[in-house]
Copies of this chain bind each other. A is one copy, B any other.
Amino acid sequence: MFALHPQLQADTFPVTDLQLCRVLLMNDCNYPWVILVPRKDNIREIHQLDGAERQTLMDEMSNVAQKLEHAFSAKKMNVAALGNMVPQLHVHVVARFEEDPAWPTPIWGKVPAKPYDEQSKALMLERVRSLLVPEADMPLQEAAQ
């Protein structure tokens, strides 16, 4: 039975479930920052997923990155599976900008998280959900290349 790690639960808001992953919005309005968590038990590393799950993870993280890049006109997408502190496998997908507070260094530990207020949280959740939900089961579009 899949259960989200308490730290991820505390730091994020749920966006939607894709075929493999739960999509979470990180409660840090410094960056458009989502986290993908495969809904599998006791997985710490990408290579612990089976081959089909790894391919689905690749599709989902690529699709989410492409959608966020386009919607927010990001300068660069950062995609990372770290997990040194929270052992449940989770993949960060973060839209980066030259004017963001950590640019050009990685975001982790750079500036304190800046929580969303209620209104901006609702707006951001709606925006990210609208990007991901209608096409959640469709393959990644190649057209944007």
Contact = CB atoms under 8 A, between A and B. Distances in A.
Interface stretch (A51-59, A111-119, A126-134): A51-59
A125 interface: no
Nearest to A62: B47
Interface stretch (A1-9, A12-20, A21-29, A75-83): A75-83
Given A47-B63, A62-B46, A79 B76 contact: no
Contact of A82 (B85, B87, B106): B106
Contact of A77 (B45, B61, B66, B108): B45
Contacts of A101: none
A63 B79 CA distance: 18
B109 A105 contact: yes
A65 interface: yes
